[in-house]
Chains A and B, each alone.
Chain A
């Protein structure tokens, strides 16, 4: 049974055209994360929600925003995608803080910017 679901799996957008990536979970976890993974690199944390509290990493560009309307769903909005934003975007969830609980990852959304 799928626990962390990401839609779509592949997304193509045009340079500068806003795009939204979706993540949902059936685990009822408190924390949801968004990571960016570029080719041959490790995933890099963009931000996370602990319940409704939003935590942005210091070096995450303003171009990236997130929404969590309820426990199950979390969205990643890229306001004006640039060519450098092409990457795999991974959503993850955990019961609590990352140092104490494992994260469960979705299959990822591969974003292409043309």
Chain B
């Protein structure tokens, strides 16, 4: 079983459109992270959320952690081809150092 489920698995959008990616856990999240990965490369840190209800934004990307701290969403406004890649949520699911990544969402932005 997968500790963190992401949806959708893949997304193809026209440039300029808004989109949302979800990350759901069956357990309480102790720190939720969003990363972006280009094919064949390492992961780039986007944002970290720790408190229930927390929301952070960077440029056109906004991430939220719900009040119960079991789900997070990543929203991209006015998507651009540079947003294309694989988006991964990651989290510690207990107070130890076990860290899991979500199943990933592949984003394609058509110019």
Cβ–Cβ contact B97 & A48, under 8 A: yes
9-residue interface stretch from B39-47, B59-67, B70-78: B39-47
Q: Let me know if A102 and B33 touch, CB within 8 A.
A: yes
| B88:A104 contact, CB within 8 angstroms | no
Interface bin, chain B = 20 to 34
- Cβ contact of B43, chosen from A44, A57, A105, cutoff 8 A: A105
Whether A98 contacts B92 by the Cβ 8 Å rule is yes
Count A-B contacts at CB 8 Å. Answer: 64
Known A43-B43, A48-B97, A88-B40; further 5 A-B contacts with Cβ < 8 A: A4-B42, A55-B97, A105-B43, A105-B44, A108-B42
Are B103 and A42 in contact (CB-based, < 8 A)?
A: yes
With an 8 Å Cβ cutoff, the count of chain A residues facing the other chain is: 28
In the bound assembly, the distance between CA atoms of A70 and B53 in angstroms comes to: 40
Q: Nearest 3 CB-CB pairs, A to B?
A: A99-B92, A42-B101, A99-B31
Residue among A4, A42, A90, A103 with max Cβ neighbours from chain B (10 Å): A42
Q: Which A positions have Cβ atoms within 8 angstroms of B? A: 4, 6, 31, 33, 41-45, 48, 50, 55, 57, 88, 90, 92, 97-100, 102-108, 110
Cβ-defined partner of B99 (8 Å) among A4, A45, A105, A106: A45
The reply on B1 being an interface residue by CB < 8 A is no
A98→B102 contact, CB < 8 A: no
Docked CA distance A95–B95 (Å): 16
Q: Could you jot down 23 A-B contacts, CB within 8 Å?
A: A31-B97, A45-B98, A45-B99, A55-B97, A57-B98, A88-B40, A90-B42, A90-B43, A98-B92, A98-B98, A98-B99, A99-B30, A99-B31, A99-B97, A99-B99, A102-B48, A103-B99, A105-B42, A106-B42, A107-B41, A107-B42, A108-B40, A108-B41
